[in-house]
Structure 1
Amino acid sequence: MTTTTFTSATETRLAVARQVADAVLFEGYVLYPYRASAAKNRLRWQFGVLVPPSWTSAAEEHDFQHTELLMEPRKGAGLAVEVRFLHAARRTVQRALPDGGFETVPELRLDDRVLVPWDEGHEEQVRLTVAVDALAGAGVVVPVTRPAAEETEPVTDAAGRVVGRLLRRREEIGARLRLSAKELDGPYTTQRLRVVLENTSDWTPDEDTTRDTALARSLVAAHTLLSLDAGRFLSLTDPPEWAKGAVARCRNLHTWPVLAGEPGSADLVLSSPIILEDHPAIAPESPGALYDATEIDEILALRTAALTDEEKREARGTDDRAAAVIDLADSLPAEVLERLHGAVRGLREITTPGAPQPPDGVPVFGGPPPDPGSAGPGGVRPDTPWWDPGADDSVDPATDHVLVDGHHVRAGSRVVLRPRLRHTDAQDLFLSGRRALVEAVLHDVDGGVHLAVTVEDDPGADIRREQGRYLYFQPDEVDVADTEETV
């Protein structure tokens, strides 16, 4: 076993997965609007937190992660392990005094930022390589310790004068990593790999201890990368038929291992505190880390750019990563924002019967151009991609109609909203009995019919109409207001 740097081949494999791993490491690290004063940034860190054993009963949090999965190592194979986590650092803000000393203050206001107290996340990692043969029996136990530390950083104003300092304190962390493997009975050289990461701190809380105090001695956002230099791992979500029984007996507690790296590869695993699918990847359109995965990148970037100058100053003073998000949102060019608006990941192949076929391996999205106005079987235009609204002539939101109490309701009809029948939205209380204009009649893939409407006295109706942002109701949630046309 060694703790030296990984080989270049191992580094290359791990680099592919680290981008996703970074997203796991900082998931929820700081949330929009990226200010320490925001209510949702007062309860920090929700994923992969391994607290001291003495704190588990008080907070109903866990002190370990237990990973099990199957692998088929070749003879002489080596296993590279990289454990990553954050070590919380309590940051205190201090102001410089005339006598050369410092005093702790709730904030320090500078021209470009407002510095406030905050718990930063210091990145830690444990890296080792071990021969798979050494994992038999009791396996390998690796102690993980991080000492207490204190450091200061001077704070200067625009003129370069020291006006304060940041004092950072980190508490001691004690942990242990246990690795073992057991060969399974059967015709294949399959082993069950077990990786256990546990907090072993002997710290004892008192009756006034808070979660923030326990977090300072915790492994935060802990996750593990595993790489075989010869052999493969088996997927837990899509194992081969012969391995399903053995996969079902694998125990994974407070973490979930998935195949990582490029699709089709099986020599790399990410064991994550967030459930992922095999071969997870960051969308190529994503402009950078935004840390708030509960939001869509486009919405988050636009909302961040719309923060006031004072809000941005506080965000920049909250954390260096938050400052980078502000700068990123302010500098995104229009073409990058346009890419965030949506992407087609795959297209269904449509061909016209009897049409000339392309060479093998070349998909065709439609065949030769048809006569103008013509459509293929079932109303599908063969020259139009399936995801285009104009692909199917059998429906037309502008002219389709639906019967409501014997009356034709189509675009332009006026109805009275009766959402009380379902109560599917809190707005139902406000919309019941209101008159609305039907903008379109829509059909979903399950055969359901929906009415897209705008409320008649809504001052924003024109904007909704321009943007296509309608309210939607089913036919039995409306009464007909105009009854000129009946059947």
Structure 2
Amino acid sequence: MDAVRAIADTILYEGHLLWPYRASAARHGKRWTIGGVHPKEEAERSGGRWTVSAEFLLEDGPESTVEFTLRFLQTVHRQMMDGDAPVPELKVGPGTYRTRQEAREREITSGRLPVERLLRSPVRVPVAIAAGLDEKPVEGKARNPVEGTVGRPARIVRTWDRVTGTVVLSAERAAPGAVRLRAVLVNTGAAADRDEAARSAMLCAHLVADASGGAFVSPADPPPRLAGAAAACHSDGLWPVLAGPPGGHGTVLAAPIVLYDWPQVAPQTPDDLFGGAGLDRLLAELAAGDPRGGGRATTGTGRS
């Protein structure tokens, strides 16, 4: 599963990290992503998506089970506070702290489901992220570069909005010894405008399916006896591929970009790029204009 998580993290953070982060940049403070699933009204106004889905085949047996995991980023607003006053940036010691948009990883799992259960009726997995706030002080004396004031306590205040939705999971017999699994993600939230929709969105949303007692069928290269059933699968906004160690058939990754089967992270990518320390380092490099602050590379990927 570590290999699958590595490539899934690449998808999760690709759009979030690639834009330059400088005070002079036109997109300063905004993080742009791929694969956003937004509240329906705003998605229909803007031509975006409020639902995505994926279908793929599983060669099953009487004891087959499958577990689905939804992963996405949620927008978090990071506000710098000079005392009780919100400010665009503060200097504390040698460091500069800026107000900006960040993101928080969210992960929701269905638990292990017998395929026979999915054949009987759909299973609905709720997505319910409550709105929240956290804050922490910044050690040292703050200097406001705009007002020129020194010495007021500095704080970082992070806030995020509510995100709601549903993942509907189902199965149908597609051929003798094979079922067609279907996963539909719907954003059920509401938003009055584009900014509110971004705060209520599931960004870079993707699904990982893990099978036990069965083998997933490659959507791109199915065996001849299942070619017709594979061609009848319909996905919208997600593209399922086999994932994990090359040659394995136990995991499917349904991503918002087109990949080949068994995509891999390029070996030159730092192992900790998407850990806490790695993200902090990368953002610092982006702020300083360090050319190393690019995205994580992948091999075996394609784009449409």
Question: How does the TM-score come out when normalised to structure 2?
Answer: 0.84
Q: Measure, in 2, the Cα distance between the counterparts of 1:255 and 1:150.
A: 31
Aligned length: 278
Q: Measure, in 1, the Cα distance between the counterparts of 2:122 and 2:44.
A: 30
Q: In the alignment, which residue of structure 2 is the partner of 1:111?
A: 93
Which residue, out of 253, 256, 277, partners 2:236?
Answer: 253
Q: Secondary structure of the equivalent of 1:279?
A: strand
Which residue, out of 190, 193, 218, partners 2:178?
Answer: 190
Establish whether residue 325 from structure 1 lines up as the match of residue 282 from structure 2.
Answer: yes
Q: Measure, in 1, the Cα distance between the counterparts of 2:152 and 2:234.
A: 54
Which residue, out of 48, 58, 76, partners 1:89?
Answer: 76
Establish whether residue 238 from structure 1 lines up as the match of residue 221 from structure 2.
Answer: yes
Q: Pairwise mapping of residues 429-468 of structure 1 onto structure 2 (< 5 A)?
A: none
Q: Secondary structure of the equivalent of 2:261?
A: coil
Q: Measure, in 1, the Cα distance between the counterparts of 2:60 and 2:99.
A: 49
Q: In the alignment, which residue of structure 1 is the partner of 2:171?
A: 181
**Cα distance change on mapping 1:17 and 1:279 into 2, 3 Å:** same
Q: Measure, in 2, the Cα distance between the counterparts of 1:78 and 1:270.
A: 16
Q: Measure, in 1, the Cα distance between the counterparts of 2:107 and 2:24.
A: 30
Q: Which structure 1 segments of 5+ residues have no match?
A: 1-13, 97-101, 292-318, 330-336, 338-344, 346-487
Q: Measure, in 1, the Cα distance between the counterparts of 2:187 and 2:198.
A: 12
* Counterpart code for 1:249: A
* Counterpart code for 1:278: D
Identity, in percent, stands at 31
CA contact 2:191–2:197 (8 Å) conserved in 1: no
Q: CA deviation at 1:41?
A: 5.2
CA contact 2:76–2:199 (8 Å) conserved in 1: yes
Question: Which has the greater radius of gyration?
Answer: 1
Which residue, out of 161, 164, 172, partners 2:154?
Answer: 164
* Counterpart code for 2:262: H
Q: CA deviation at 1:37?
A: 4.3
Q: Measure, in 2, the Cα distance between the counterparts of 1:178 and 1:115.
A: 41
CA contact 1:258–1:279 (8 Å) conserved in 2: yes
Q: CA deviation at 1:328?
A: 7.7
Q: Secondary structure of the equivalent of 2:70?
A: strand
Q: CA deviation at 1:110?
A: 2.0
Q: Measure, in 1, the Cα distance between the counterparts of 2:33 and 2:283.
A: 23
Q: In the alignment, which residue of structure 2 is the partner of 1:68?
A: 55
Q: Measure, in 1, the Cα distance between the counterparts of 2:191 and 2:243.
A: 38
Q: In the alignment, which residue of structure 2 is the partner of 1:215?
A: 198
Establish whether residue 17 from structure 1 lines up as the match of residue 4 from structure 2.
Answer: yes
CA contact 2:65–2:115 (8 Å) conserved in 1: yes
**Cα distance change on mapping 1:59 and 1:235 into 2, 3 Å:** same
**Cα distance change on mapping 1:58 and 1:42 into 2, 3 Å:** farther
The higher relative CO (CA closer than 8 Å, separation ≥ 6) is in 2
Q: CA deviation at 1:111?
A: 2.8
Q: In the alignment, which residue of structure 2 is the partner of 1:456?
A: none
CA contact 1:34–1:322 (8 Å) conserved in 2: no
Q: Per-residue CA shift, 1:397-434, capped at 9, x if unaligned?
A: xxxxxxxxxxxxxxxxxxxxxxxxxxxxxxxxxxxxxx
Establish whether residue 47 from structure 1 lines up as the match of residue 34 from structure 2.
Answer: yes
Q: Pairwise mapping of residues 83-162 of structure 1 onto structure 2 (< 5 A)?
A: 83-96=70-83, 102-127=84-109, 128-157=111-140
Q: CA deviation at 1:73?
A: 1.8
CA contact 2:29–2:100 (8 Å) conserved in 1: no
CA contact 2:77–2:160 (8 Å) conserved in 1: yes
Q: CA deviation at 1:42?
A: 5.8
Q: Which structure 2 segments of 5+ residues have no match?
A: 143-150, 287-291, 293-299
* Counterpart code for 1:29: H
Q: Measure, in 2, the Cα distance between the counterparts of 1:156 and 1:175.
A: 39
Q: CA deviation at 1:260?
A: 0.3
Q: Secondary structure of the equivalent of 2:5?
A: helix
Q: CA deviation at 1:138?
A: 2.5
Q: CA deviation at 1:82?
A: 1.1
Q: CA deviation at 1:204?
A: 4.0
Q: CA deviation at 1:90?
A: 1.3
**CA-atom RMSD, angstroms?**
2.5
Q: Measure, in 1, the Cα distance between the counterparts of 2:23 and 2:225.
A: 52
Q: Measure, in 1, the Cα distance between the counterparts of 2:121 and 2:152.
A: 55
**Cα distance change on mapping 1:56 and 1:326 into 2, 3 Å:** closer
Q: Secondary structure of the equivalent of 1:136?
A: helix
Question: How does the TM-score come out when normalised to structure 1?
Answer: 0.53
